[in-house]
Structure 1
Amino acid sequence: MKVLICDEPGRLRLIERPEPVPAEGEALVRIRRVGICGTDFHIYQGKHPFLNYPRVMGHELSGTIERAPTGSGLRAGQNAYIVPYLSCGTCVACRKGVTNACQAISVLGVHCDGGMAELISVPAANVVPVGDTPLDDAAMIEFLAIGAHGVKRGGIAAADRVLVAGAGPIGMAAAIFAKARGAHVTVMDLREDRLAFTRDALGADALLPAGDAAEAEAAAATSGDLYDCVIDCTGNRAAMQRGFGFVGHGGRYVLVSVVRDDITFSDPEFHKRETTLLASRNAQPDDFAEVVRQMQAGRVPTAALRTHRGPLAAGADLFRDWLRPEAGVIKAILEV
């Protein structure tokens, strides 16, 4: 089978590998679409802190089931998406049902080889049929589920004023699912084009340029109350620390972003506001199901989010092109 492999930073090659042989309890899936995310670009650029090369990337996956184990409820010919988080099932987090925080989690395309290949074999429990959902949309479910999980962690309700910091794909996903809960959503970013997209395509209620005056503008827009919930999706340490200042009294701060640095904040301000600080990692099965429900309800503008596409065989050239800021990529899809 054909596989797109990243041998080292900046080097992608299309190679041939033997087809995988499913182990007991695994399903064999023919990959049809692979969504490209920031993690893939970081791997390609050599910026990912927890990765060994060579690596087959790809964790936003949809395809068609080729073979499934007896009793799995899956059958050949079904279209499906793949949950890329392989959890151990026995650690303290898994025993609590928090499989997204498994102590020994292995993520396809990061800790082990992923789906930039014609076929992949994964545990049957990680393969979810999608019915009539198009394969293009199914390949976008994973990154959207990360945003949905952050919104769930923030306990967002219809009465909330929410600030989403960072208008990349994950921030856009958070804005979509906060809006789906009826919240008033403000999006903050440095890029004017991304802000305009969140307003025009995603229905953001307000925009906040992330310049020096952002705090004053936020206070003016909320009559000094600031925000009931702030969701950080910037991936930037300074921005994450700055975000504490946008949380209103009694508010929640959700860190979807993760960086290797220490994050610090003013303890007097933190206590004065009785801020609730929450981490949000990966996503859980109900988050994936929520994405599918909102897709079926027409609340996820997948066609607008999906800005670029191309064949797996051209992946090496496409990665170089898609990395250019002027390319305007929001979500790119490789077709297998």
Structure 2
Amino acid sequence: MKAIQITHSQELNIVELPQPAQPGEGEVLLRLSYVGFCGSDINTFMGRNSMALNPVIPGHEVGAVIEAVGAGVPETLKPGMVVTCNPYTNCGKCASCRNQRVNACQHNETLGVQRNGAMKEYIVLPWEKIIPAGSLTPKVTALVEPMSVGFHAVSRAQVTDIDVVMVIGCGMVGMGAIVRSVMRGATVIAADIDDEKLALARKMGATYTLNTRTEDAHQRLSEMTNGFGPDVVIEAVGSVPTYQMAVNEVAFTGRVACIGYAKSEVSFQTKYFVQKELDIRGSRNAQPSDFRAVIRYLERGTCPVDDLITKVIMPEEALETMRWWSENPGKVFRILVEF
């Protein structure tokens, strides 16, 4: 079967692998329809992802169809069903697992990062990792995982209908945070450096937009929040300036939820941690309930999914596309590979 393989030296190859046999006990064989390239994949391609195998088959944003099921698989999972998958592992023994926050397992291995992923024609997974996608098409289903990461951050920040929420970064994960905050009744400020992404954030439900490259962020936020600052800031970029902005601009007694990985150390005015009595919370991956919430949202049919898909490519176009993406990082929402 055909698969895409990335090394850390800006190389990408199409390789042939043995097709999986029939699934064993407790396993499900998936036929991949669409798999998304995400930010971790471009970092792997550019040699900047220290967590990734080398070489590695990428892919954990999955839209697939069940091909076959093994013995012991629940009858609710049947051949022909459109599904996605929970791409994270959990050890069951670490502090996170003990506290039932398996998405933050100390020993997690994500598909396409710490272990070979789903960017191939078939994959076998334990049935517990299979998530039915309801009425969604496989193409739309490939958007579920990245949006679920944004949904989870909103849960971590305990967003309510009386909050003003600023989401910094309007990529796919940030869009998920915007949608979930709007669904909870919050007023949302979308912040980014790209006007096209900000325009799409409004379509996703943001009340206000802020171009942090061309506008005075502090002044605009003061105007939008009557001088208080946002109650919640969700950092979905992973850079020194955005992390500092989150802490500097959040309201007194506010909450900051951090999704992005900064590539270097970040210096803070730590007096704000104390003076503002801030809650600063990490947000990692997503829970199965976040996946289900995204699927339910997408089933409404109100999401402008075509605007979220930058390109659909065939595997043979992957190398050229990744080179283009590395030169145009701000212009990509999601690139889907069609198998």
Q: Is the 8 A contact 2:175 2:201 kept in 1?
A: yes
Q: Is the 8 A contact 2:244 2:266 kept in 1?
A: yes
Q: TM-score, normalised by structure 1?
A: 0.94
- Hey, what does 2:67 align to over in structure 1? 66
113-122 vs 233-242, greater mean Cα deviation: 233-242
Which deviations, in whole Å up to 9, do the C-alpha atoms of 1:183-207 show, x marking residues without a partner?
A: 11011112222222212x2131111
1:238: Cα distance to partner? 2.6
Q: Is the 8 A contact 2:25 2:71 kept in 1?
A: no
Structure 2 SS opposite 1:67: strand
- Hey, what does 1:204 align to over in structure 2? 206
| Number of matched pairs | 335
Q: Distance in 2 between matches of 1:29 and 1:275?
A: 44
1:24: Cα distance to partner? 4.1
Give 1:112-191 correspondences, 5 Å limit: 112-191=115-194
Q: Distance in 2 between matches of 1:157 and 1:267?
A: 27
- Hey, what does 2:46 align to over in structure 1? 45
Structure 1 gaps of 5+ residues are: none
Q: Is the 8 A contact 1:58 1:114 kept in 2?
A: yes
Name the aligned partner's letter for residue 76 of structure 1.
P
Q: Is the 8 A contact 1:163 1:187 kept in 2?
A: yes
Name the aligned partner's letter for residue 316 of structure 1.
L
Which deviations, in whole Å up to 9, do the C-alpha atoms of 1:140-169 show, x marking residues without a partner?
A: 100000000001111111111110111222
128-137 vs 319-328, greater mean Cα deviation: 319-328
C-alpha distance 156-327 of structure 1, shift in aligned 2 (>3 A): closer
Give 1:100-111 correspondences, 5 Å limit: 100-111=103-114
Name the aligned partner's letter for residue 71 of structure 1.
G
Structure 2 SS opposite 1:257: coil
Q: Is the 8 A contact 2:89 2:108 kept in 1?
A: yes
- Hey, what does 1:3 align to over in structure 2? 3
1:299: Cα distance to partner? 4.4
Name the aligned partner's letter for residue 20 of structure 1.
P
Q: Distance in 2 between matches of 1:203 and 1:298?
A: 14
- Hey, what does 1:33 align to over in structure 2? 34
Q: Is the 8 A contact 2:238 2:263 kept in 1?
A: no
1:323: Cα distance to partner? 3.5
Structure 2 SS opposite 1:159: coil
1:326: Cα distance to partner? 8.3
1:317: Cα distance to partner? 2.0
1:260: Cα distance to partner? 5.0
Structure 2 gaps of 5+ residues are: none
Q: Distance in 2 between matches of 1:56 and 1:121?
A: 14
Q: Distance in 2 between matches of 1:246 and 1:126?
A: 39
1:109: Cα distance to partner? 0.2
Q: Is the 8 A contact 2:46 2:326 kept in 1?
A: no
1:303: Cα distance to partner? 2.2
Structure 2 SS opposite 1:42: helix
Q: Is the 8 A contact 1:63 1:80 kept in 2?
A: yes
Q: Is the 8 A contact 1:180 1:299 kept in 2?
A: no
Q: Distance in 1 between matches of 2:11 and 2:156?
A: 37
Task: Select the residue among 288, 294, 298 that pairs with 2:297.
Answer: 294
Name the aligned partner's letter for residue 192 of structure 1.
D
- Is residue 257 of structure 1 aligned with residue 260 of structure 2? yes
Structure 2 SS opposite 1:248: coil
- Is residue 268 of structure 1 aligned with residue 271 of structure 2? yes
Q: Distance in 2 between matches of 1:271 and 1:213?
A: 25
Which deviations, in whole Å up to 9, do the C-alpha atoms of 1:83-140 show, x marking residues without a partner?
A: 1102223333223221111121110000010011111111111111223211111111
Q: Distance in 1 between matches of 2:194 and 2:134?
A: 37
Considering fraction of residues, name the structure with more strand.
1
State the percentage of identical aligned residues: 31
Give 1:276-315 correspondences, 5 Å limit: 276-315=279-318
Q: Is the 8 A contact 2:4 2:315 kept in 1?
A: yes
- Hey, what does 1:88 align to over in structure 2? 91
Q: TM-score, normalised by structure 2?
A: 0.93
